[in-house]
Amino acid sequence: MKTLMKTAASALALLFVLPACAQQAPAPAPAAQDADPALWVVKDADTTVYLFGTVHVLKPGLSWFDEAVKTAFDKSDTLVLEMVEPEPAAMQQLVMAKAMNPAGPTLTEQIPEAKRPAYLKAMADNGIPPAAFDRMKPWLAAVTLSVLPLKKLGYDPETGAEKVLTGAAKTAGKKIDAVETAEQQLGFFDSLTPAAQVEFLTSTVDELPKLGETMGTMIADWSEGDPDSLAVLLNESMKESPEVAKTLLYDRNARWADWIVKRMEQPGTVFFAVGAGHLAGDRSVIADLKARKLTAERVKY
C-alpha cells in the first residue's frame, strides 16, 4: 500500500484549496532549473488536444512552462484541468459535508492499536493535537498529513502547474474548463470503504518519513519527461489495493478518455492538463485513448 501515500501526494489539487494549506510564506526562489516534462497530442482535421501531465506542487525556480509546452498552450483556445478550484469558503463547506464524521468512534479509535503510536507521532511532528483530526474521515486525514510537511520541504502550491496554467489562461483570456468538480473529487475519496480509508491513512503515516525522497524522485522523473518511471513510482503499487486503484485512477482515466473522444467531435485546440500519473502506465488516459482508436503522439522537444 505504499503508493497510497503517493496517491495522496499526487492529488494535491484537491487539498491545496483548503485554508490550512495556504498560510505559510513560500520559500525564496532559487536559480531557474530547466525541466522538460512530457507532452502528447491527439489531432484530426479540425481538432487538436494536447495532453500534459502536471505536478500539483513544485519548488520555486523550476523552468517548465516554456519551449514546446508553452507553444502548445499558446496555440490552445481552452485549458482543461481536473477541476477548477472553488472559492475557499465553498470548498470548506464541501469538506464539512463530505469529509467529517460528527458521531461515532473518533479517528484515533478507528486506527488499529498497533498503528496508533506512529499516527500520534506524525501528528505531533506536525504540531497537531490528535483531537484536531478526530472528527475527520480517515481519507481526509491521510491526504492532509501528506500535504502538511511539503511546505517545510520547500514546495509551494503557487508554483504548481495548475496554478501557473490557470494564471496564464486568465491573462490570455482563454476559456478554462474541467473534467471534474471539487464535489466529485471529494466524493471519490469518500466512496472508499471504511477499511480502505483506514488502510490509506496508516500507509500514509508509514510512508511520511520518505515523503521528501518520494516527491524528489517524482519531480525528477517528471522534469526529465519520463512517464514510464512515473508509472512505476505512482501507479504500479496501487495494484495492491484494487479498490483504490479503480476509484482514484482507472475509472477516472477511462472517463477522461471518453471526454477527449467526445471533444474531438468539435473543432478547436485544447490544452488538457491533469495529474502526471494519469498519463503514465498501461491503464493511463493515453492507453485508454488507444483502445478507443485515438493515438496520442509524443511531442518531441
Digit-coded pLDDT (tens) for 1-37:
444 444 544 444 444 434 333 333 344 445 579 999 9
How high is the pLDDT of residue 245? 86
194 located within any domain: yes
Model confidence over 115-173: pLDDT tens digits?
999 999 999 999 999 899 999 999 999 989 988 888 889 998 789 999 999 999 999 99
How high is the pLDDT of residue 232? 87
Could you give the number of structural domains in the chain? 1
Model confidence over 68-126: pLDDT tens digits?
999 999 999 999 999 998 888 888 888 889 999 999 999 999 999 999 999 999 999 99
Q: How far apart are CA 82 and CA 147, in angstroms?
A: 18
Q: Is the dihedral of CA 191, 91, 234, 40 positive or negative?
A: positive
Does an H or E element contain 175, and which? strand 175-178
Q: How far apart are CA 164 and CA 275, in angstroms?
A: 14
Among 16-20, 196-200, 276-280, the range scoring the smallest mean pLDDT is: 16-20
9 located within any domain: yes
26 located within any domain: no
Beta strands 78-81 and 175-178 are parallel
Find out whether 262 and 70 touch, Cβ atoms under 8 Å.
no
Which grid coordinates belong to 73? 498552450
Q: Is the dihedral of CA 85, 256, 301, 72 positive or negative?
A: negative
24 located within any domain: no
In the 8-state DSSP scheme, what is residue 77? Answer: S
Find out whether 177 and 169 touch, Cβ atoms under 8 Å.
no
25 located within any domain: no
215 located within any domain: yes
How high is the pLDDT of residue 271? 98
Domain that holds residue 12: 2-19+33-298
Q: What is the average pLDDT across 191-212?
A: 92
How high is the pLDDT of residue 25? 39
Model confidence over 39-61: pLDDT tens digits?
999 999 999 999 999 998 899 99
For residue 293, report the phi and psi dihedrals to the nearest 5 degrees. Answer: 70, 25
28 located within any domain: no
151 located within any domain: yes
Q: Both ends of the chain: CA-CA distance in Å?
A: 36
Model confidence over 220-230: pLDDT tens digits?
999 999 999 99
pLDDT over 80 at 237, yes or no: no
